Amino acid sequence: MATNTTSSQTGTRSRSSAAGTTKAAGSAAGTAPATTRSATKEIEAHPNGLRLTGKVALITGGARGMGASFAKAMVDQGASVMITDVRDDAGNQLARSLGKNAAYRRLDVTNRDDWKAAVKETIHQFGKLNVLVNNAGIVNFAPIDENDPENWDHTIAVDLTGSYNGIKASVEALKRYAPSSIINISSTAGMRGYRSLTAYSAAKFGLRGLTKSVALDLAAMKIRCNSVHPGPTNTPMLAGHEDAKDQVAMKRVGQPYEIANLVVFLASDESSFSTGSEFVADGGELAGLAPSSPVEN
């Protein structure tokens, strides 16, 4: 991530240079090694300064919570976004508030016919599809000896098979409009166990495996695939579980925009060498046992 910050700064210098106003110090002296020059070229920002110009994204579970934050951040950075969900009122309202570069359509991620139609409509409306954000998710809390098998089936269907369905339905479009990026929203529950979260944890670990396998299958087609692992984040899903902050080193929950920043990076060409990887934003939850005293943030 540090490289990313430096990169966009370098990109800005490079744009000035193209306009003939300034030259990067190394190039001016003619001493920069070839690798430095080529890295600078690769990370030039789009002339309009936005990081997702030319990207068309489909986001699942985008009507509220993190998905809504991803949609806003991506539109802000120049992408067109198809927001999908099963919450039609909230989804339509959000799309209207984001203007002409956003639209909403209903998509239940467990329904393969819905998927086909949503991909088709995205291409019809925005001309292409090159970013897929598999974000829709549900959570159910019950210890293994109390949870019922229907609950397991449904959670796996939404949280894991839903993403598989999305990748299957989108892959031909993602190839056609590459470079493309698939972003699977997992969780810290995809990295460690939690009490009473059997199906959720199994699905989120499964997403990591799916991510790596897909990354290997599709790298040659210029499609990257990564997983994102948020810690407890302030969305409707976390309601009633805010004390999860106690297990976080920073002693607070995350805000949706803090995850959206990571998603924008992965959707953009700034992350062009990242595939098959886990990207964590968890306030230090996975670093180890959190301090018991409060921390100033």
- Name which of 80 and 188 has its Cβ closer to ligand NAD: 188
CB of 263 to ligand NAD, least distance (A): 11
- Please tell me the total number of residues recorded for the chain in this structure: 297
Per residue, the 3-state secondary structure of 170-232, as one string, reads HHHHHHHCCCEEEEEECCHHHCCCCCCEHHHHHHHHHHHHHHHHHHHHHHHHCEEEEEEEECC
Q: Which residue has the tokens 């159910």?
A: 140
- Name which of 110 and 274 has its Cβ closer to ligand NAD: 110
Residues in touch with ligand NAD (CB under 6 A):
60-61, 63-67, 85-87, 107-110, 135-138, 158, 185, 187, 230, 232-233, 235-238
Q: How far apart are CA 126 and CA 62, in angstroms?
A: 17
Known catalytic membership, residue 104: no
Q: What are phi and psi of 171, to 5 degrees?
A: -60, -40
- Name which of 17 and 161 has its Cβ closer to ligand NAD: 161
CB of 3 to ligand NAD, least distance (A): 25
- Name which of 13 and 257 has its Cβ closer to ligand NAD: 257
Sign, CA dihedral 3-6-12-17, equals negative
Strand order in the sheet with 223-230: 102-106, 80-85, 56-59, 131-134, 180-185, 223-230, 278-281
CB of 146 to ligand NAD, least distance (A): 21
Active-site position among 164, 177, 194, 200 = 200
CB of 153 to ligand NAD, least distance (A): 13
Give catalytic residues, as residue numbers: 200
